[in-house]
């Protein structure tokens, strides 16, 4: 599992490698965004293909129960599932400056979509991971730099700097 702690908190830059931050993300809607992020994890060998449909359905079920569109252009679709060893994550940075609809609680469009798949048995990790992502992505400067990044590495560097700024 790719996790590290900083004063008991998850370091987002270690939650996923730079290759799992997708710049130029162009989903047609939130369901397509979730599917593309799950497929990305499969393509990168981080999620077994035989588990992808079940995980996609678990995330969609969670999303239908209550939207994970947060405030300030951030969505964190997620699910707790059986059969994964550690946290799996991927981030899509929506390339359209108008963003995409994600039924966000503030009604604004989404530009940053973070998919989280967390082992069902690790509820505390689930809550902490969501909180840590929200904490870093609540900063205007981090979000602004993420959506203007030209490469996955540049976006990952923004996350790394956002982590460091929490000290």
Give CA–CA dist 76/133, Å, rounded: 8
Helix, strand, coil % in the chain, rounded to nearest 5? 45, 20, 35
Give CA–CA dist 67/76, Å, rounded: 9
- Count Cβ neighbours within 10 Å for each residue of 74-94 and write b for 16 or more, e otherwise: bbbbbbbbeebeebbbbbbbb
Question: Catalytic pick from 40, 78, 145, 160?
Answer: 78
Which residues fall within 8 angstroms of residue 27, CB to CB, at 6 or more apart?
33, 35, 36, 92, 94, 100, 113
Tell me whether residue 78 is one of the annotated catalytic residues. yes
Return the active site residues: 78
């Amino acid at each position: 599992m790719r996790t590290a702690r900083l004063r008991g908190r998850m370091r987002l830059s270690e939650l996923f490698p730079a290759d799992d931050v997708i710049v130029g993300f162009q989903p047609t809607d939130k369901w397509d965004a979730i599917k593309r992020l799950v497929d990305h994890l499969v393509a990168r060998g981080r999620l077994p293909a035989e588990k992808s449909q079940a995980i996609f359905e678990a995330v969609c079920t969670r999303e239908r129960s209550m939207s994970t569109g947060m405030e300030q252009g951030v969505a964190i679709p997620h699910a707790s599932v059986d059969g994964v060893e550690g946290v799996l994550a991927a981030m899509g940075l929506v390339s359209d400056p108008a963003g995409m609809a994600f039924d966000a609680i503030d009604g604004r469009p989404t530009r940053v979509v973070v998919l989280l798949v967390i082992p069902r048995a690790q509820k505390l990790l689930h809550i902490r991971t969501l909180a840590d992502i929200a904490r870093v992505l609540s900063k205007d400067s981090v979000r602004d730099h993420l959506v203007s990044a030209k490469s996955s590495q540049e976006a990952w560097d923004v996350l790394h700097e956002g982590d460091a700024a929490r000290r």
